[in-house]
Structure 1
Amino acid sequence: MLDRFRLIIAWIACLVYWLAGGTAFLGLCLILPLLSLKDRGRVIGQAALRVAFRGFLRLLGLFGIVEYEFVGFDRLRAQSGGMIVAPNHPALWDAVFVLSEVDQMACVLKASLMCNPILFGGATAAGFIPNEPAHRMLRQCIETLKSGSRLLFFPEGTRTRPENGVLNPIQGGLAIVAKNAGVPVWPVFVKTNSRYLSKGWPLWQLPTEKVRLQMTVGEPVTFPPGGDAQEFLVELRQRYLTALESPSAIA
């Protein structure tokens, strides 16, 4: 069991960290357009956000709230050109972990979060893509990938719902983007021992045990020329299920 007092102090520290960071990134997203840096400004925003996320993970480690393991992420960092990094999505903070490990990557973000004053500055500076309206999101994803950038795309569309087991149905938008951008999809299998920050978990509710996470990079999948979107999604879904339902040391 985690010490309750330590959890409360950690929660307050994290809140202060995000408030300070959100304010700083709000300033950054206002300054970068004035410098006329264009694409370079987005790279600066993504780099700054990665530093901020790595600092947040160190803060979590300092309080002993979470243990995490990254497996195979060196393979992603070694790749050049456009690619889709596609993790399953058990908890709210999954993007933070992935973006802390892979640089120069945009992210498809829930549109309502772009209105969050804490997240708006960082998401705007880093060139994140709102998931609504869908047609604009798909077009921006394809353009981003064709320009050679990396894209974080959650194929479930939202956090995993308890009634769906370990994985929600995979959304068809992933197949559309992969087909039209002509880039590989790198699945990332996220395993955890906790429901903390899962779908329906209130943000203020603290965990009762240390959260353990393991994020493993799978083999890339490319949409085949003349291939069928449904077959592509079925194959990809089976890869997630095989990895997520296999025995794990996470406990």
Structure 2
Amino acid sequence: MNSNPESEIPIVQPGKSFLLAVRFYATMLFMLFYWPLGVLVVMIICLCSSMLNPGEKHRTLGQLVIGKSLSSFVRILEWAGIIRIHDAGLIGKADMPGPLLIASNHPALWDAPLLIRRFLRVSCIMKAELLNNPLLRNGALFAGFLPNTPRLEMIHAALDRLKNNGRLLFFPEGTRTRNRDKGGILNRFRPGLALLASQSKAPVLPVFISSNSLYLQKGWPIWRLPPLPITVTIRVGDPMKIGEGESTRDFSRRLEELFRKELG
């Protein structure tokens, strides 16, 4: 079992560094302009691409545009001293060919951006309600992200992507991890990922995210100053496949046990 930054770096009271606090709030204000401008640029590129690049080429361009945009966003956070990311192992797996299911735990809001910026050519299984957000909807559809409901439609669409050597990012918890402040490390896994693994025979790449901070996790408002800098460590396990004769329930349980072991 690998060491966990949460046990190595204790949570301390915010406000120790006045300079970091100024950087934090200045960055948050900057994002109020950065994201609407980014959405506008993505909409223009999407409109032009839809007329020139039908089908797969359009989706591929969308994935690259969204991935590069998220990469710039993360670099801004790193430059401002808000976050430090250790993900060397993730970089080494970013070019794994499809079909591939990327399974990650989900402690905080920025998990998907931290992973998408590395994999780039990947579609994310996302909460259907997020498509109601005007800042997210256009870019998500441009990149070919799939809403998680209706469930049967999601399964069919995901299997179609995997048959065409696509790569899917999946959060088997279904939502951010609950009760992180009370020592919870993982929600129970939902069966969708195991079902896709069974139907497609695609390998599952487990990704373990841990942090020394509760920022952007359940119950932490985005404007509330956390202890800085925030350290996020992303580790990658060996690809897994559902065993011959193994049920989806047993595979889901085996995958969840691996995550509990690695994150515990």
Category of TM-score, reference length = shorter chain: over 0.9
Question: Secondary structure at the residue paired with 1:212?
Answer: strand
Residue 19 (structure 1) shift: 1.4
CA offsets, 1:25-76, max 9 Å, x none? 1223333222242100100110111111110111001110000010322442
Give matches, 1:165-204, under 5 Å. Answer: 165-204=184-223
Question: Secondary structure at the residue paired with 2:87?
Answer: strand
Structure 1: 5+ residue stretches without partners: 246-251
Give matches, 1:134-213, under 5 Å. Answer: 134-162=151-179, 165-213=184-232
> Residue type matched to 1:211 in 2?
I
Task: Count the aligned residue pairs.
Answer: 245
Identity %: 36
* Aligned residues of 1:188 and 1:216 also touching (Cα < 8 A): yes
Given the two structures, how large is their TM-score scaled by the length of structure 1? 0.93
Distance 2:177 2:89 in 1: 23
1:28 aligns with 2:45: yes
- Structure 2 CA distance for partners of 1:172 and 1:2, relative to 1, 3 Å: farther
1:232 aligns with 2:239: no
Given the two structures, how large is their TM-score scaled by the length of structure 2? 0.88
* Aligned residues of 2:83 and 2:228 also touching (Cα < 8 A): no
Residue 93 (structure 1) shift: 0.6
* Aligned residues of 2:81 and 2:228 also touching (Cα < 8 A): no
Corresponding residue for 1:219? 238
4+ residue runs over 4 A deviation: none
Corresponding residue for 1:42? 59
* Aligned residues of 1:26 and 1:120 also touching (Cα < 8 A): no
Corresponding residue for 2:8? none
Distance 1:17 1:232 in 2: 42
* Aligned residues of 1:107 and 1:151 also touching (Cα < 8 A): yes
Distance 1:114 1:105 in 2: 18
Distance 1:232 1:96 in 2: 27
> Residue type matched to 2:213 in 1?
S
Higher relative contact order (CA 8 A, sep 6+): 2
Residue 208 (structure 1) shift: 3.2
Structure 2: 5+ residue stretches without partners: 1-15
* Aligned residues of 1:178 and 1:223 also touching (Cα < 8 A): yes
Aligned alpha-carbon RMSD (Å): 1.5
- Higher mean C-alpha deviation, range 80-89 or range 29-38: 29-38
